[in-house]
Amino acid sequence: MSAPFDLSDDSVVVIVGTGAGGGVLANELAQKGVSVVALEAGGRYLPEDYINDEWESFGQLAWTDARTTSGDWRVARDFPGLPTWIVKAVGGSTVHWAGASLRFQDHEWKAATTYGEVPGANLLDWPIDGAEMAPWYDLAEKKLGVTRTNGWPGLPGNNNFKVLEKGAKALGYTEVSTGRMAIMSHETGDRTMCQQTGFCFQGCKWGAKWSSAYTDIEQGEATGKLEVRTKCHAARILHDDSGKVTGVEYFDETGALQMQAARVVCVAGNSIESPRLLLNSASTMFPDGLANSSGQVGRNYMRHTTGSVYAVFEQPVHMYRGTTMAGIVQDEARHDPARGFVGGYELETLSIGLPFMAAFLDPGGWGREFTSALDGYANMAGLWIVGEDMPQEANRITLSPDVKDQFGLPAPNVHFDDHPNDIAMRNHAYAQGAAIYDAVGAVRTFPTPAYPSTHNLGTNRMSERPEDGVVNRHGQTHDIANLFVSDGSQFTTGAAENPTLTIVALAIRQAEYIRGAMARGEI
């Protein structure tokens, strides 16, 4: 463990958040000899602390600070205080994630060019592309231990996968496998091999699944260059008269307000907390919030087009046994406007336990249709839709005018309206998911609407021109040279793939850039 850095030490890089972006960035910088202070709003939990019980685990890990919600999405009606299901702990949502690690397809870096004009969508090409990102993806896959890369085998398929595979192949799908997962599938890795316990969303008890909590964070601390401060909630970023950021004010575990000086500040608090922090840091010089000359901070919120399809069979499936999301159909991830929408989607195995099934299936509902579905739980198979949703300027994070959190800071409001393209894609995916299960004799299939978001993207998007976004091709804010965004909020568009691998690849790349810019005296 590194010795604590002094609050007045303005040579350090301060990183807000320790998830896929912040945790990896902290380690990568520490390995390069850069001094880092990481502020984490949550506590620290390791595999021995994780709880294989959904509700207890939710209480331990979930981010449940005050939030408000608006828009026409189902979440605003059924889960208005919980628009996202993410983690408040060291490791962030890498504790909670399932492990799916997919590269963007080449065309997805250039959605505006590829898809053309989509009315109501605020599409923009990324200022980077697949060729530039390929070596960083290579490094990310090695770091995460991604199956089906580097000669590593795929995970075995559980019953939920076998049902999906048989149905998908009956429909003529060919890109069907247990996927590319950041879960150890072999004995010779640097983590324990997957033991097929399930409860992947509750934290991997074996440490087989990659999480920055027990990999990158611990590796960074071992250098003596990284200090992680837990239960420290960032309040605002400070700057000097030249507009350069100078440090971060935060509430410590006792509730006292502290200020850590900084040479560089990197914001990695997820797509809700990151823009919120920039907006809460408004000043006379930056009346609309930091890095917001474009007015784009908080805008273009994306959460992936999602939903689930479950099916009940005559015989037991026990979908909850084995790895939660080791199963994918990728055939529909292509861009094919003949289907009635631009972009594509993945179909991935998903099982949730009976308590969450009851909560997510029909919140507040009851009656025969609902109870018969729960009665069939042991005979159920399930999949999850992950599709590219359209960025829209009006889908955004703003500061609530009247709700404050436990520190007296304005709470974030999450506004989301479905785009017609999102709805068309979801309906197509519902139909294909049901067809997969019907092809193997399902007694009953039913789509379930999306639950609170886990893939939160956009809100501080990357852009070539400062007027179009918040950060440049390195995640450096257009307005302030020593202020960076290091999480999924920098995504220009969402693509069809689970985002963590791309967040990690961008973080590795950003660390190289920051170290170089510091050495050159640019920041």
Residue 201 CA to residue 76 CA, distance in Å, equals 23
Could you tell me if 38 and 182 lie in one domain? no
In this predicted structure, what is the pLDDT of residue 1? Answer: 47
467 lies in some domain = yes
In single-letter form, the type of residue at position 324 comes to T
pTM of this prediction? 0.97
Contact status, residue 176 vs residue 333, Cβ threshold 8 Å: no
pLDDT tens-digit map of 383-404: 999 999 999 999 999 999 999 9
- Asked if residue 509 and residue 397 are part of one domain, the reply reads yes
Model pLDDT, residue 3: 60
pLDDT at position 364, please? 66
Q: State whether 118 and 153 are in the same domain.
A: no
3-class DSSP assignment, residue 494: coil
**To which residue do tokens 């289907």 refer?**
339
Tally of CB atoms within 10 A around 425: 28
Neighbours of 4 (CB within 10 A): 10
Residue 371, domain CATH: 3.30.410
Domain-embedded: residue 69? no
Q: Are residues 89 and 234 in the same domain?
A: yes
The CA distance from 285 to 297, in Å, is 16
pLDDT in the model for residue 374: 81
Q: What are the E-state strand segments in 204-317?
A: 226-229, 233-239, 245-251, 257-261, 264-267, 305-312
277 belongs to a structural domain: yes
Q: CA-CA distances (angstroms) from residue 449 to 57, 178, 201, 361?
A: 23, 24, 19, 8
How far, in Å, CA of 72 to CA of 80, rounded?
A: 11
Pair 436, 362 in one domain: yes
Q: Tell me how far apart the alpha carbons of residues 15 and 18 are, in angstroms, rounded to a whole number.
A: 8
Residues 273, 173, single domain; the answer is no
Query: Is residue 397, in this structure, part of any structural domain at all?
Result: yes
Judge if 258 and 129 occupy the same domain.
yes
Are 476 and 492 within one domain?
yes
Asked if 247 contacts 14 with a C-beta cutoff of 8 angstroms, the reply is yes
Which residues, given as ranges, of the chain have pLDDT below 50? 1
Tell me whether residue 189 is in a domain: yes
Q: What pLDDT shows up at residue 506? A: 98
Range of the domain at 379: 148-202+305-387+419-449
Residues 30 and 138 both lie in one domain: yes
CATH code of 295's domain: 3.50.50.60
d(CA 202, CA 258): 32
Does a structural domain hold residue 66? no
Residues 423, 328 within the same domain: yes
pLDDT (0 to 100) of residue 373: 78
Number of domains in the chain: 2
